[in-house]
Amino acid sequence: MTSLLSLSPRPRRASREPVVPMINVVFLLLIFFLMTAQIVPPAPFDLTLPTADGDEDAGDATLYISADGDIAFEALRGDTALVQAAARTDTLRLSADAALNAQTLARLLGELAALGATKVELVTEGG
């Protein structure tokens, strides 16, 4: 007598949760954050910012001043940049080089105030 082995089917494993929907959501969130992120334009000059401790508050627009006293606001340069920067926004960010002469900075702040700038924030590096 020959005995036939009866093979029973293997017990099935419990199915795992599908991962594809979760991956889709992650990619959609990644695309959303990439599309809504605000990309900051590079500074028109190489600046070494002064250091300070305090709260960081982003203004609406940035006025750049190099160590030599060159002024830039968006694509504008010189006195035109000062006039447009003062007229365009209530809060103006001022990125001035750390090597900029304090007298030059004080003169420019006076000019900005005369042109109607109501709030100027000096951009610094955390110290």
Number of domains in the chain: 1
pLDDT in tens, 38-95: 777 777 878 776 666 666 555 567 888 888 888 888 888 888 888 888 887 677 888 8
- Residue 102 forms part of a structural domain: yes
- Residue 73 forms part of a structural domain: yes
Residue 25: how many CB atoms within 10 A of its CB?
10
Q: Hunting for tokens 């889709």 — which residue is that?
A: 24
Region of 87 please: left (phi>0), alpha (psi -120 to 50) or beta. Answer: alpha
> Domain span at residue 95?
51-126
- Residue 16 forms part of a structural domain: no
- Residue 105 forms part of a structural domain: yes
pLDDT in tens, 96-125: 888 888 888 888 888 888 888 888 888 877
- Residue 65 forms part of a structural domain: yes
- Residue 74 forms part of a structural domain: yes
